Amino acid sequence: MPRPKIAILGRFTESASALRYRGVVTSRALAEWIWAAGGDPITLLPGNDPDALNWAERLAGVDGVLMPGGGDIRPTRYGCSDGHPSLYDMDDVQDESDITLVRYCLDTAIPLLAVCRGLHVLNTALGGRLIVDMPQHHRHQVRTVALTGNAPMMGLRGDTVRGSCYHHQAIDVVAEGLEVVGRAEDETVEAVWCPAPAWTAGVQWHPEDTWDVDPDQLSVARAFVAACDRR
């Protein structure tokens, strides 16, 4: 049987050692995580012209969407000022592409997994708000996440999971329609489940960092890929 096709929206980069120019990239670790779970990852070019935002055509033959990590969403998208000095790599084309793609998945029952910035996009697309800069950043940290509610739907069946974190922003106001199913010790939202028509979930940490040594991280990808396969 063919592997389910998983679209990953690419991230803009100003420099990549293997390229002569600016690039559109997908994390190798992220792609290998999806491959290990049985999916076939493909990278999509972000854009904000009508053809680029025609997700019905662009997702033909795609079974699910992974919204990856990346730079900061422009805070005006969720009602805050964009003047904070901690903000980095903001890009309006990336934001428009991300947000419209997430809304399309929710509206048309395409399985969706959101990681780090992807979780922020999901929350923003549904009307939530972010902390522009956390009082204490979660960069280069491993956090214990307490699990509740529909966490088993995400492949997480224990009471806790260890998450490899790298973020200076987090969910502030949880969007209507999202269920918080995981929080760190400091109450940071680390995992959400969305009762959408198709499997939809998000994690604040980076499962791709440790999937090869932590079965819980691979279980998240397998739950997602299984939902894509059913579709």
Predicted confidence at residue 177, as pLDDT, reads: 93
Q: Confidence band (pLDDT; 50, 70, 90) for 161?
A: very high
CA–CA distances in Å: residue 56 to residues 48, 122, 160, 163: 15, 19, 38, 34
| Lowest-confidence region among 3-7, 79-83, 170-174, 184-188 | 79-83
Q: Which structural domain, as residue segments, surrounds residue 17?
A: 5-230
CA dist 214 and 34 (Å) reads 14
What pTM does this model have?
A: 0.95
Structure tokens at 125: 């697309």
CATH code where residue 158 lies: 3.40.50.880
Each residue of 86-110: pLDDT tens digit? Answer: 999 999 999 999 999 999 999 999 9
CA dist 126 and 124 (Å) reads 5
Give the residue among 217, 115, 221 at the shortest CA–CA distance from 166.
115
| Mean per-residue pLDDT, 67-90 | 95
Q: Is 182 helix (H, G, I), strand (E, B) or coil?
A: strand
| Mean per-residue pLDDT, 194-209 | 97
Counting the structural domains of the chain, the total is 1
Question: Which residues are 146's β-sheet partners?
Answer: 160, 183
CA dist 70 and 6 (Å) reads 18
